[in-house]
Amino acid sequence: MVYVGAFGVLILLLIFAFNNRFVGREYYAPRVGPLLAHWVGVAIQIAWVCIVTFLLLDWLKGDHSRADLWWVGVLWAVLSVAWELFAFHWVQKRGWRDVLDEYNPLIGHGWALVPLAYLLAPVAIHDWLFGF
């Protein structure tokens, strides 16, 4: 049952991510430049992941093992990357190079930190609040 709830939370987080990207492109980028806007978006999305995980910890308080929490993180990370690849390549018709550049730290991009936050948030926030 924890995975059904986790999937619903992921949908909410992906909606935040979509909105975050739109606001970054339309509002931040013209004001601060595309690279800084990208990093603002990364920081905002990581904050959303942590806030939503914190606020929706009722499903984490139940009778779940540490392995369940790790699997929730894996589910979030894998499905969020799959969604990004699908949305940016097939929906927005961006080339694979443009899509993969979002994750490339060698050119100053840091979106790879967001799936890392998805992976670690359930366990890290649970442990922070409830102990190991």
Top-confidence range, 5-14, 31-40, 113-122: 113-122
Which residue do the tokens 């927005």 mark? 92
Residue pointed to by tokens 């806007």: 37
pLDDT band at 24 (very low <50, low <70, confident <90, very high): confident
Q: What is the dihedral of CA 51, 54, 82, 112, to 10 degrees?
A: 60
Query: What's the pLDDT at 25?
Result: 82
CB 112 within 8 A of CB 105: yes
Q: Judge whether residue 60 has pLDDT over 70.
A: no
pLDDT at 1 over 60: no
Q: Cα–Cα distance between 65 and 131 in angstroms, integer?
A: 13
- Tokens 């100053």, residue located: 108
pLDDT band at 65 (very low <50, low <70, confident <90, very high): confident
Q: What is the pLDDT of residue 68?
A: 87
Structure tokens at 12: 């909410």
pLDDT at 38 over 70: yes
The pair of three-digit structure tokens given for residue 55, joined into one six-digit string: 């606020």
Report whether pLDDT(59) > 70: no
Q: Locate 80 and state its tokens.
A: 């969020």
Q: What is the mean pLDDT of residues 106-130?
A: 89
pTM above threshold 0.85: no
Q: What is the mean pLDDT of the chain?
A: 84
Tell me the one-letter amino acid at 43.
A
Residue 36 burial (CB < 10 Å; 0-12/13-18/19+)? middle
